Structure 1
Amino acid sequence: MTTWSSSLYPGEWRRGSTAGGCRNNPATFWLNPQFKLLLRHPDAPGTSDCSFLVSLMQKDHRKKRREGKNMETIGFAVYEVPDEAKGQRGVHLKQNFFQTHAISARSECFIKSREVSRRLRLPAGEYVIVPSTFKPHKEADFILRVFSEKAADSEELDDDVVAELPIENYLDESQIDAGFKSLFRQLAGPDMEISINELQTILNRITGEQKDLKTDGFTKEACRSMINLMDSDGSGKLGLVEFNVLWEKIQRYMTIFRNYDLDKSGSMSSYEMRRALESAGFKLTNHLFQLIILRYAEEDMAVDFDNFVTCLVRLESTFKTFKIMDTDADGVIALNVSQWLSLTVFA
C-alpha cells in the first residue's frame, strides 16, 4: 500500500490585492497566492518523473449557498521555478516571470465547483502552483492540498517585509537654491516655518494644478503625518531644510505615480499600486498589501495621488520608528502599553 505525503495550505483571493484571475489576465495573474513544491524523489529508480496530486477546494460553500451566492470558477497552473530562483525561500514571483515562462501543468479546466483536482507527473525539480479564480476581482477563501507519492517539501511564497529607502539629502541652508528659498518665504509667512494648515494649502494648490493627477485633496491628518515624519526638532512645523527634503520626496512620489499609472487615468489601480510600492522601496506580504488597499483605495479599487502619498509617508514613518526601537536589529521589538498607544493612537 502506497503512503502519500501531503501538505495543506489555507488561502484567500481578495479583490484589489490577491484576486488576480487566471493566466488570461497577465497584468494581475502574478498577484495570486503562490505555493512552491520541491519534488526531490522520482517514483522509481532510473526515472525522473514524480507523481503528485493537486486539490483546490473553496471554503464555506454551505454558507454561500444559504446566502444565495454561487461558487467561483476556479483552477490552478503549475510553473517550473527558473534556475536563478531555485533554492530561494519566500520569493513571490513577479509579473515578468509569468510573461516569459511557459506553463508546466494545469488543472484540466476552470470550473464553477467546490473542488478542482488533478493528478500530475513532472520531472524532479522546483515548481510553483498558482491557484486562481477564472476572472480577477472575485473573492473567495480556499484550501490547497498537495499529495505526493514520495516526500516533498512545500511552502507558501510571500515577500519578506523590507523597506529600502533612498538616502535623504539634508542640505545646509546655504546650499538650497535661491529660487526655492524665495518660494519658501512666500509660503511660510513671517515665522519662516510651515504649519499643518499651510502645508495642506500648498499641497492642494500644487496637485490641483496637475491635470494628470486625480486627488480629493490632502487632509489635515495626512499633512500631520508628513510633518511628523520630517520634523527633526519637534516644533510641529517644517523649517526650510525640512521642507526642502519633503518637497524632494513628494516630487519622487509624483514621478513613481506617473510611471505606474499605466493607463494615464490620473489614479492607480490597486494592482499597479503594488508595483509602485516596490519601486518606492517597500516590499510587503500579501496580508499587509490587503490592509493597504482596504485603507487607501477608493470604492472602485483605485488609489488617488493624495492617498498614494499618504500611504508612502505612513509606511516610511512606521519603518523608521521600528528601526529606532529595534536596538539590537533582530527584527523584533517589545512594547509596553504606553509605547503601543503612542504608536497607534498618536502616530
Structure 2
Amino acid sequence: NPQLHLLLSNMEEVVISLNQHAVIEPKVMGFTGYPVPKGGVDCITRSFFRKTKSIINSQYTNSRQVSERVQLEQGSYVLLPTTFEPGEEAAFTLRVYSAKPIKLKLVDTTPSLVKPAVTQSRSALESKSIQQYQAVFMQVADEHRTVNAFQLHELLEACLPNDYIKSCASLDICRQVILTMDTSGTGRLSFSNFKELLVSLKAWQAVFRSHTKERSGILKAERLRDALVDAGFALSTSVVSILVLRYMRKDGTLRFGDFVSAVLHLSVAFNLFDKRDPLDNGTVKLSLNDWLHSALTC
C-alpha cells in the first residue's frame, strides 16, 4: 500500500479526505494514520505496523469519499490508504486540508543492495554435502571443467531434490544463472560457481518459504517486497510493481522459480550498476550501446 508522510510544524486540526475514482463497483476503502519517530521517513516495514498503534482510523465504506477530521500534535505521521479486502487495487486521491501550511509527500524506498544474494557455503558440513555432486558435474562438463546453460539445465534436473525446487531448473533460468555468475565472459560456469548456486538456492528457498502462507510453496504478490528484502534487495514501489507485472501468475501468486528468476535479474542489475558507479554516486551515464548491453544482460 502507498505510504504518505504528513509533517506538521504545529498542533493542527486537519481534515483527511480519501476519494476513489471508480464509479462502477467501487471498492470498500479507508485509511489509517500512525505517528512516526523523528527521522523515520523511509518506507515503513510490516514490523512497524505490528508494534505501533494507529491514531487515525477512518471508517471503511464503498462510498466515493471517506473523510476524517482529527486534531494532531506537532510531528510526523504516516497515512496509509487501503482497501478493506486484501489484494484489491483502486485508483484514489488523498487530500489533507488545514488552516496552516503542511507537508505531504509519498514515502518510498531508495533501491539498495542490503546483502549479496549469491552466497557461498557457510559450513564445512554444507560444503561436504554439495561436494557429492562433483562427479555428476564432471560427467557433463567440457575439457575445461565448465558447463554452459544447456549442461547446467541437465545438472539441475539431476541434482535438485524435488519438484518444488526443480521449478527453478528451466532453461531460461539457467541462462540467467550464467549471466549472473559467469565472471569470465565465456558463458560457462565452473564447479565452484555451481556450488555457490546450490548454496544460494537453499538460502532463497528458506526466504521464499518464510513468506508463503502456511509454507505452501505459493507466494502472494503482496509479500514479494518483504521476501526480496530478506533476499538482499530493498526496492522502490515502482520497481516492485514491474517485478509483480513480470512474474505474477493469473491467481496473483508467484512460485519458487518465479522468485529465483526475480532474484537473478536483480543481482545482475545491481552488479552492472555498481561496476559503472565506482564512486557510489547513485547515477551512471551510458551510451546507447552500453544501455542495450545492460538491458539485455538483465
- State the TM-score, normalizing by the size of structure 1: 0.77
Contact 1:74 1:131 in 2 (8 A): yes
Deviation (angstroms), 1:330: 0.8
- Given the superposition, is the C-alpha separation of residues 150 and 304 from structure 1 closer, same or farther in structure 2, using an over 3 Å criterion? same
Which of 170, 194, 200 aligns to 1:249? It is: 200
Q: Does the CA-based 8 Å contact 2:119-2:200 persist in structure 1?
A: no
With over 3 angstroms needed to count, the CA separation of the structure-2 counterparts of 1:226 and 1:88, relative to structure 1, is: same
Once residues 181 and 234 of structure 2 are traced to their aligned partners in structure 1, the CA distance between those partners, rounded to angstroms, is 22
Task: Flag the structure with more relative contact order, 1 or 2, with Cα contacts below 8 A and sequence separation at least 6.
Answer: 1
Shift, 1:260, TM fit: 2.2
Distance 1:205 1:257, change over 3 A: farther
Is the alpha carbon distance of 1:119 and 1:237 closer, same or farther for their aligned partners in structure 2, counting shifts above 3 Å?
Answer: same
* Structure 2 match to 1:301: 252
Partner of 2:8: 39
Pairing 1:51–2:20 present: no
Higher share in helix = 2
Q: Equivalent residue for 2:146?
A: 193
Higher Cα Rg, which structure = 1
Q: In the TM superposition, what are the counterparts of 1:63-142 in structure 2 within 5 Å?
A: 65=23, 69-81=24-36, 83=37, 86-89=38-41, 91-107=42-58, 109-142=59-92
* 8 A contact 1:170–1:241 mirrored in 2: no
Q: Supply the AA of the counterpart residue of 2:40.
A: Q
Residue number in structure 1 paired with 2:229:
278
Identity rate, percent = 27
Q: 1:149 aligns with which of 99, 103, 126?
A: 99
Q: Distance in 2 between matches of 1:285 and 1:118?
A: 29
Amino acid at match of 2:2: P
1:187-235, CA deviations, whole angstroms, 9 ceiling, x for partnerless residues? 242522222112122324444x336x37645332211111111112122
How many Å apart are 1:279 and its aligned residue? 0.6
Native 8 Å contact 1:214 1:267 kept in 2: no
Change (3 A) 1:76 1:170: closer
Deviation of the 1:164 alpha carbon:
1.8
C-alpha separation in 1, matches of 2:117 and 2:90: 41
Q: Does the 8 Å contact 1:53/1:117 carry over to 2?
A: yes
User: How far off is 1:273 after superposition?
Assistant: 2.2
Give the partner amino acid of 1:128: V
Alpha-carbon deviation of 1:125? 2.0
RMSD across aligned C-alpha pairs, in angstroms? 2.4
Q: 2 CA distance for matches of 1:156 and 1:121?
A: 21
Structure 2 spans left out of the alignment, 5+ residues: none
Aligned to 1:16: none
- Cα 1:221–1:38, aligned 2, differ >3 Å: closer, same or farther? same
Q: Is the 8 A contact 2:137 2:191 kept in 1?
A: no
Higher mean C-alpha displacement, 244-253 vs 230-239: 244-253
Partners of 1:276 and 1:200 in 2: CA distance? 26
2-structure distance, mates of 1:315, 1:106:
37
Q: Which amino acid aligns with 1:164?
A: V
Q: Cα offset for 1:319? A: 0.2
| C-alpha distance in 2 between matches for 1:56 and 1:179 | 56
Change (3 A) 1:130 1:307: same
Q: Distance in 2 between matches of 1:73 and 1:308?
A: 31
Do the aligned partners of 2:8 and 2:102 also contact (CA within 8 Å) in 1? yes
**Structure 2 partner of 1:239:** 190
**Shift in CA distance, 310/150, structure 1 to aligned 2, threshold 3 Å:** same
Moved over 6 A (4+): 167-171
Structure 1: which amino acid aligns with 2:27?
E
The one-letter code of the counterpart of 2:206 is T
Match of 1:344 among 281, 295, 298: 295
**Residue type of the partner of 1:136?**
P
Cα displacement (A) at 1:317: 0.9
Which has the higher mean CA deviation after the structures are superposed, 332-341 or 269-278? 269-278
Tell me how many residue pairs correspond in the alignment: 291
**Distance in 1 between the 2:210 and 2:71 partners?**
42
For the residue of structure 2 that corresponds to 1:339, the secondary structure is helix
